[in-house]
Chains A and B, each alone.
Chain A
Amino acid sequence: DVKVTQSSRYLVKRTGEKVFLECVQDMDHENMFWYRQDPGLGLRLIYFSYDVKMKEKGDIPEGYSVSREKKERFSLILESASTNQTSMYLCASSLSDTYQPQHFGDGTRLSIL
Chain B
Amino acid sequence: QKEVEQDPGPLSVPEGAIVSLNCTYSNSAFQYFMWYRQYSRKGPELLMYTYSSGNKEDGRFTAQVDKSSKYISLFIRDSQPSDSATYLCAIPNYGGSQGNLIFGKGTKLSVKP
Contact = CB atoms under 8 A, between A and B. Distances in A.
B105 A98 contact: no
A107 B92 CA distance: 22
A43 interface: yes
Contacts of B90: 101-102
Q: Size band of the B side of the interface?
A: 20 to 34
B98 interface: yes
Contact of A107 (B36, B42, B46, B49): B42
Nearest to A32: B99
A23 B5 CA distance: 29
Nearest to B51: A99
Given A90-B43, A104-B44, A42 B99 contact: no
Interface string B74-113: 0000000000000010101010011111011110000000
B66 interface: no
B51 to A, nearest CB: 8
A50 B98 contact: yes
Interface string A20-48: 00000000001101000000111101001
B97 A102 contact: no
Interface residues of A, number: 29
B43 A42 contact: no
Contacts of A30: 99
Interface of B: 8, 32, 34, 36, 41-46, 49, 88, 90, 92, 94, 97-101, 103-106
A41 B99 contact: no
B100 A101 contact: no
A103 interface: yes
B38 to A, nearest CB: 8
Contacts of A41: 105
Given A45-B100, A48-B99, A50-B99, A107 B105 contact: no
A101 B36 CA distance: 10
Nearest to B31: A99
A45 B93 CA distance: 12
Contacts of B100: 33, 45, 48
A100 B99 contact: yes
B34 to A, nearest CB: 6
